[in-house]
Amino acid sequence: MSSIRIATWNVNSIKVRLPHLLQWLSSQEKKDAPIDALCLQELKLTEDKFPYAELNAAGYYALVAGQKTYNGVALLLKKSSLAATAQDSETAFLSPQKNNPKFQDEQQRIVAATVAFKGRQPMRLISAYFPNGQAPGTEKFEYKMNWLAGLYDWLSEELEEHSRVALLGDYNIAPSDEDVHDPKAWEGQNLVSPEERDAFSGFIELGFHDSYRMFEQLPKSFSWWDYRMMGFRRNAGVRIDHILLSEELKNECIASFIDKVPRGWEQPSDHAPVITTLS
DNA sequence: ATGGCCCTCATCGAGGGA
């Protein structure tokens, strides 16, 4: 049985980035490394404007939670990778969930479904766009911390119901200093504050594993670089996009990496995709 | 040098991102 690849990518407007998205999916396919599931964040449009037709033509089903201008998340599934029982957009996404049932939220930041790939036990895939938080002490930071607490509550329930859970997305948290280009300059700031890192540790204590850190990685590996100050060229970045796996999925995990290639394309998203492979 | 860029909108300046 062939392995599967699950990935996450904050595209910073799917309208602008659709050409990159299609090019990236097709480039992975040509490398004989197709993406079987892709979680997208920051769509910045409502569901009726989502490019279902283009992605369908590229071979993907989509489950979308959108809103105007801000946020918005999707879960894409490669049709040809799905089990025979999941051959239309209804049956591909089982027990679909938009947003956190335990946290009232106007902002569309979570979409989840149970997915049956060919020849495998079903797994629960969650695409999440964590709040940015602006800065510790602000109202937006307080919203972020409340949102994280709500996510913790929901995830502990999800883990009771499902043994195979993957949480993919833009966490807006750099879990440790090795995930930050200049830890001293960032100390105590948004994305790296002790409160945020404690929340990330909470997910680990629930039983999740950071798939990227299961493997040896190059130092200074990041997933986001500021558009300003030539951030990408200087590799002045942070690692804030993550793929966390429950114990059972962790035992199947054989690789994880960040694909920096699309970040170097013309008019890129400021995030790079993260890919994790399951045997 | 405490801001530089990019995306969105009952747009052309401001909010949000990280």
For residue A183, give the DSSP letter: H
Write out pLDDT tens, residues A4-62.
999 999 999 999 999 999 999 999 999 999 999 999 999 999 999 999 999 999 999 99
Give the β-pairing of A237-238 and A224-225.
antiparallel
Nucleotide nearest to A190 (CA to C1'): B18
Question: Distance between CA atoms of A46 and A73, rounded to whole angstroms?
Answer: 10
- Across chain A, what does the average pLDDT equal? 97
Length, in residues, of chain A: 279
> Measured from the CB, is A267 under 7 Å from any atom of strand B?
yes
Q: Among all chains, which residue has been given the structure tokens 């002790």?
A: A194
Count Cα atoms within 13 angstroms, Cβ side, for A16. 13
The DSSP 8-state label assigned to residue A129 in this structure reads E
Count CB neighbours of A115 within 10 A: 28
Task: Specify which residue's alpha carbon is closest to the C1' of nucleotide B18.
Answer: A132
Tell me which protein residue sits closest to nucleotide B17, measuring alpha carbon to C1': A132
Q: Is the pLDDT of residue A184 over 90?
A: yes
| CB-count burial class (<10 Å; 0-12, 13-18, 19+) for A149 | middle
Structural domains in chain A plus CATH codes: 4-278 (3.60.10.10)
Q: Measured between alpha carbons, how far is A243 from A126 in angstroms, rounded to an integer? A: 10
Distance A132 CA to B8 C1' (A): 17
Report how far residue A197's alpha carbon sits from residue A38's, in angstroms, rounded to the nearest whole number. Answer: 25
Identify nearest nucleotide to residue A174 by CA to C1′ distance: B18
Contact between the CB of A265 and strand B at under 7 Å: no
- For residue A279, the SS3 value is coil
pLDDT tens digits for range A46-55: 999 999 999 9
Mean pLDDT for A63-84 is: 97
Do A80 and A71 touch, CB atoms closer than 8 A?
Answer: no
Confidence of residue A87 (pLDDT cuts 50, 70, 90): confident
Q: Which pLDDT belongs to residue A1?
A: 66
Q: What's the burial of A218, exposed, middle or buried (CB within 10 Å: 0-12/13-18/19+)?
A: exposed
User: Average pLDDT of A57-68?
Assistant: 98
pLDDT digits (tens, 9 = 90+) for A105-122: 999 999 999 999 999 999
pLDDT digits (tens, 9 = 90+) for A249-266: 999 999 999 999 999 999
Q: Is residue A277 a contact partner of residue A254, using CB atoms and an 8 Å limit?
A: yes
pLDDT tens-digit profile of A209-226? 999 999 999 999 999 999
* A127: Cα separation from own chain's centroid: 5
Report which of A107, A194, A102, A176 is spatially closest to residue A143, judged by C-alpha positions: A107
Cβ within 7 Å of strand B: which of A 100-129?
Answer: none
pLDDT of residue A2: 86
Structure tokens at A169: 């997305």
End-to-end CA distance of chain A: 8
| Whether residue A132 has pLDDT greater than 70 | yes
pLDDT grade, residue A143 (50/70/90)? very high
